[in-house]
Amino acid sequence: MLMFYRFNRFTLSMFAQASRLLILLTMILTVMLVGPILCAAELSAAPVIFERDVAPILENHCLRCHNKRDHRGGLSLQSREAAFQGGESGATIEPGDISSSYLIDLITPYDGVAEMPQESAPLSEKEISILRRWIDEGAKWPENVELELPSLWSLEPLEHPSPPEIARAPEDFPVRNPIDAFIAARHQDANLKPAPTADRHTLVRRLSLDLIGLPPSHEQVESFVNDASPDAYEKLVDEFLESPHFGEHWGRHWLDLARYADSEGYLGDSERPHAWVYREWVINAINDDLPFDQFSIEQLAGDLLENPTLEQKIATGFHRNTLRNTEAGVDLELYRTKEIIDRVNTTGMVWLGLTFGCAECHDHKHDPVSQKEFYQLYAFFNNADEIGVTATQPWEIAEYEENLKSWQPGWDELTTELVSFEKEGLTEEQRDEVKQIFKKYKKSTDLKKLESFYRTDETAWKAFEKRLARQLGKRPSKPSTKARAFTERKKDRRETFVHIRGVYNRPGEKVDLDTPEALPRLRARAETPDRLDLARWLFHEENPLTARVAVNRIWQQLFGVGIVSTPGDFGNKGAPPTHPLLLDWLASEYRTRGWSRKEMIRLIVNSSTYRMSSGFNSVPEQSELSNQLLWRQNSFRVTAETVRDLHLTASGLLDRTIGRKGIRPPLPDFVTEVGRSVKWPVSQGTERYRRGMYIFFKRTVPYPMLMTFDASDSATSCSRRERSNTPLQALTLLNDPVFYECAEVLGEEMAEENQDSPDLAIREIFLRCLGRPPRDAEFKYLLAAYHDLMLIDSPSNDSEESVRHNAMTGIARIVMNLDEFITRN
């Protein structure tokens, strides 16, 4: 009995302990599960505070479209008074009455879709709940509390961020300069492994294409590949930066922004015979590393500098590249305003990275530029009168004098012959007059005067007159080049008005010269600002945009895409920067380094980031393919002009003359037969083999090959060319006469130099075209192709030499049609 009692007591004790444990666990679980619900209920019971709870929702989701300046639907939510006033649809907020508040209907999803907001992500259930409670509690909005538009990142003050500390730099990605530190930090955050450094053959070709737009020579490749010195790469960079071809290649980038062309545009599209003077200025300025701030100021207002030089006046041709309608009967004032509007839009995009075009007709919907501010900028250009300045170049004078020397002997011979011509009645005095006529090089009127001396024997004179006229027709004309430039109007200055709805002859409010309020204040030298003040304002230390936009374009040319992938739009609709701290560091460095373009390029290309391999499989285990964080370099097709330059260089046909007038390579007949207005005298001799950037660009009939490979159309400023991939490009590379000619010249040259060794000829073709020796499989394929081509042509009646030339031309065509040939890796 005692034992039983003890047993039960023990059992009950254990049961009680277990029960207490169960209760304790139940309590813990209850707190864990029910606690958050109770907390949420408690929070939901707390009153809504406008500044803390409501204002962030309205600012992030609504204010972009419903503010004081851009009040869509007549509704502004920026202030208490405006919000309660409502919009075109009536009252939007009814304090204390959710069902009558139109705002709630707009933001509440029906069938999963809400009508508002349209310009941002839909509101969450929590955000909708907060607004409902806020209205239910009386929509309390403290007086004098005004909401602020979301700040635009590009308008934030420009600072100089410190490079991040990298705990352990990867062995294959040494931190050579701060650029690498910023990139490596993002690699580590995203758990990305950087690609290894590209091989030397790739690096020398990459640098050559990026810096001068031409393939490296065989000597440059061999020298760099075999240079074991620690500064071999840096020496190569300096060599390309000092090349006169550097100004050509980077000048071509700038000409896209300047919408450069050799004709006026529109239906008339008459020629601009001296447009090339501005192009030559750009090339020389970039070769001389003219600081970007001075480079820009001279183009916007070189004529307003103190004692401007001829070169500074020529620089103002930047804004003379606008389209010009020269047709008879056009409204001249209409097209004058169109040109000025283009100048405002171009200035905004090129230096500020902002799209101003919307504000021509109304306040900008997305960016902080009002219509009034647009015409305040318009006013800076409204009194810039167009002029021509004599800009005959030294090489033109030298060329003229040389041609004159060649022409003079023929003329002297005719002079001697005529003066010694015996004719009855010709006095000594008349003979002297004949000499004077010849000495002054008079033309048709004096031929008639000479005829009077020999009127008695007409048949002898007519024969001689034809010889005179023929020789006079050959006489070189003295150059009188006129560069397109600006001068500021002094008298009868035009006033500037807002164009109502953008209509030029519907003037609205009168405006003064000024800059947008969202940017730093303009500091003028005098009471009335001018273009020079505007140009200098762009580079004021408080202006955060210009440096960001400019350095982003440099990065774009070296990586194929900018840190901001929309280089012409740093506004609300543009892409955000992938590396904002790096962008700001580079922008502040650009200023610190005196706006030196070459210094910034040198800094970037010397980084490990630039030197990485561009292969997709360079890090086999990598799953991230977008490359936004730059774990590898980018691979992309070269520009349209460079496609042609690659062929000409590899074949040895390239004429490397820099600058001067445009050229006209042969055009297909179907192009020149479009109309009589298409006059295309084909350039002769080696001139037709000059670089692609010198091809005469007629806006209505652009050179077909350039447009096939996405050249800018020059109608508007182009900040980034598209890179399409079409069958027409492949057909052009195969069939365009210039590309076939290049392959033919290269193939025949290699066949001649290596008559007994097709192996060497094939290797040389490969090296000249791709900058590297062929791999074994590539060489075997090409050698087999060569023998096949020899067999195909052998039964013909052609000589052995001709068969060998044709076969090697075929090999050259194969290599020149490889994707790698026109790709920058």
Give the per-residue pLDDT at 437: 65
pLDDT tier at 676, thresholds 50, 70, 90: low
Cα atoms in the 13 Å half-sphere on the side-chain side of 226: 6
Indicate the range of 147-161, 216-230, 738-752 predicted with least confidence.
147-161
Strand partners, 113: 110
Tokens of 270: 């008459």
Pick the closest to residue 256 from 321, 162, 323, 327 (CA basis).
Answer: 321
For residue 439, the SS3 value is: helix
Backbone angles phi, psi at 482, to 5 degrees: -120, 115
Distance CA 608, CA 423 (A): 86
Question: Across residues 51-62, what is the average pLDDT?
Answer: 89
Question: Across residues 559-579, what is the average pLDDT?
Answer: 95
Distance CA 180, CA 609 (A): 6
pLDDT tier at 30, thresholds 50, 70, 90: very low
For residues 168 and 266, the model is more confident at: 266
Distance CA 323, CA 347 (A): 15
pLDDT at 15 over 50: no
Give the per-residue pLDDT at 11: 46
Pick the closest to residue 736 from 694, 765, 690, 703 (CA basis).
Answer: 703
Q: What DSSP line would sit under 233-279, residue for residue?
A: HHHHHHHHHTSHHHHHHHHHHHHHHTT--SB--TTT--B-TTTHHHH
Give the per-residue pLDDT at 794: 73
Backbone angles phi, psi at 386, to 5 degrees: -85, 130
For residue 649, the SS3 value is: helix
Indicate the range of 63-77, 531-545, 573-587 predicted with least confidence.
63-77
For residues 433 and 124, the model is more confident at: 124
pLDDT tens digits, one per residue of 697-737: 999 999 999 999 999 999 999 999 999 999 999 999 999 99
- Please say whether the dihedral angle defined by the alpha carbons of residues 208, 212, 217 and 222, taken in this order, is positive or negative: negative
CA-to-CA dists, residue 150 to 92, 116, 179, 263, 748, angstroms: 22, 18, 29, 44, 65
Distance CA 330, CA 324 (A): 11
Q: What is the dihedral of CA 213, 217, 220, 225, to 10 degrees?
A: 100
% residues pLDDT > 70 (the chain): 88
Q: What DSSP line would sit under 204-225, residue for residue?
A: HHHHHHHHTSSPPPHHHHHHHH
CA-to-CA dists, residue 498 to 269, 375, 381, 495, 508, angstroms: 30, 6, 14, 10, 5
Indicate the range of 252-256, 546-550, 736-740, 754-758 predicted with least confidence.
754-758
Residue the block writes with tokens 């060599």: 239
For residues 241 and 72, the model is more confident at: 241
Give the per-residue pLDDT at 169: 67
pLDDT at 272 over 70: yes
Give the per-residue pLDDT at 438: 66
pLDDT tier at 69, thresholds 50, 70, 90: confident
pLDDT tier at 470, thresholds 50, 70, 90: confident
The mean of the pLDDT values for the chain is 89
Element (H, E) at 734: helix 727-735
Q: Where does residue 111 fall: left (phi above 0), alpha (psi -120 to 50 degrees), or beta otherwise?
A: left
Pick the closest to residue 538 from 711, 349, 704 (CA basis).
Answer: 349
User: DSSP alpha helices (H): ranges in 382-517?
Assistant: 394-419, 428-439, 444-453, 458-474
Pick the closest to residue 543 from 366, 718, 371, 354 (CA basis).
Answer: 354
Give every CB contact of residue 440 below 8 A, 6+ residues apart in sequence. 446
Instruction: Give the CA diameter of the chain.
Output: 176
pLDDT tens digits, one per residue of 429-465: 766 766 676 665 545 555 566 666 555 455 586 677 7
Long-range contacts of 632-636 (CB under 8 A, 24+ apart): 632/194, 632/195, 633/195, 633/198, 633/206, 633/559, 633/825, 634/559, 634/560, 634/561, 635/560, 635/823, 635/824, 635/825, 636/560, 636/723, 636/823, 636/824
Distance CA 709, CA 140 (A): 60
Task: Tell me the residue ranges of DSSP E strands in 581-681.
Answer: 636-637
Give the per-residue pLDDT at 100: 87
Question: Across residues 633-649, what is the average pLDDT?
Answer: 98
488 within 8 A of 304, measured Cβ to Cβ: yes
Give every CB contact of residue 622 below 8 A, 6+ residues apart in sequence. 192, 193, 631
Give the per-residue pLDDT at 673: 72
Pick the closest to residue 646 from 736, 766, 739 (CA basis).
Answer: 739
For residues 102 and 316, the model is more confident at: 316
Distance CA 528, CA 177 (A): 45
The model's pTM is: 0.85
Give every CB contact of residue 740 below 8 A, 6+ residues apart in sequence. 813
CA-to-CA dists, residue 17 to 9, 10, 21, 267, 552, angstroms: 12, 11, 6, 100, 72
Q: What DSSP line would sit under 672-711, residue for residue?
A: HTS-TT-------GGGGGB-GGGB---SSS--HHHHHTT-
pLDDT tens digits, one per residue of 128-163: 999 999 999 998 999 888 888 777 899 999 999 999
Give the per-residue pLDDT at 7: 39
Give the per-residue pLDDT at 39: 42
Give the per-residue pLDDT at 450: 61
Pick the closest to residue 664 from 689, 628, 688 (CA basis).
Answer: 688
Pick the closest to residue 648 from 686, 685, 704, 682 (CA basis).
Answer: 686
Give every CB contact of residue 436 below 8 A, 6+ residues apart in sequence. none
Pick the closest to residue 543 from 552, 555, 534, 556 (CA basis).
Answer: 534
The C-alpha angle with vertex 52 and arms to 50 and 56, in degrees rounded to 5, equals 90
